[in-house]
Structure 1
Amino acid sequence: MTLHESEAWLALDRTDRAAIRAEASVAGCTPYTPGWTAATLVLAQAEAPTQPGDAAGRALDVLERVPADRLRSTSRDRLRTLVNAMSEADIAPVRDLRERARALPPHTDIGGRSTA
């Protein structure tokens, strides 16, 4: 529930409140699971407007810990949204994130078919 609350605060451009709820969501998840991945990427989205380096670092951590073939389509969408939100930031962690996101292999469904 806290993840959905965080996303609602993001939709209202209340990144301060979104971050609080996303942090609670991350804390309630088992690390490196799909729920943790989603909550961490939402937290990064909340941080992006004011702390793009931290947000990119958080997303890069997700990409280091979760194999690309285990990233759900919703997490890929959150990652894409995050990268787009930081399009104006020209700092090393953001550039690294852009490159890592661009290099992700296409998502495949349960039958092994590309969904791209």
Structure 2
Amino acid sequence: MILVGVFRRQRKLRGSVIIWSHSIWLTTFFHIEKGLLPDLSLQIENIVCALDVDLQGAAATVARILRDKGQSVDLVLENKPLKWVFKRASRINAQRLILVGSSEWQRGMVGVKILSTGEQNEVKLDDLN
């Protein structure tokens, strides 16, 4: 007798959960159709990557400079291949990829690639904005 009561209560709860989740889905669907939900897609302005493990501190410095100027930055400190970095930049909708290489860093510069156009050039740290 006790088990029958437990199963009946679980069945009632399961049914109410299904109705509740369906109503949440409908509400969300109608909000999307009416354009009432904000755009929550991830948008990062810059992704900074060191081309050498020894330059991770330099990459962190570049990220700090950009953040001090009010820009959003994703800093890649792992030793990942460039193909992974480009995929990450695409996934987060980054506008620019900033590469910190040893020869550029010795001259006080970094490589900047505009991802929408593919344009790439070297920029002095002071001119980075």
TM-score band, normalised by shorter chain: under 0.3
TM-score scaled to structure 2, two decimals? Answer: 0.21
* Higher gyration radius (CA): 2
Higher strand share: 2
Please state which structure has a larger fraction of its residues in helix. Answer: 1
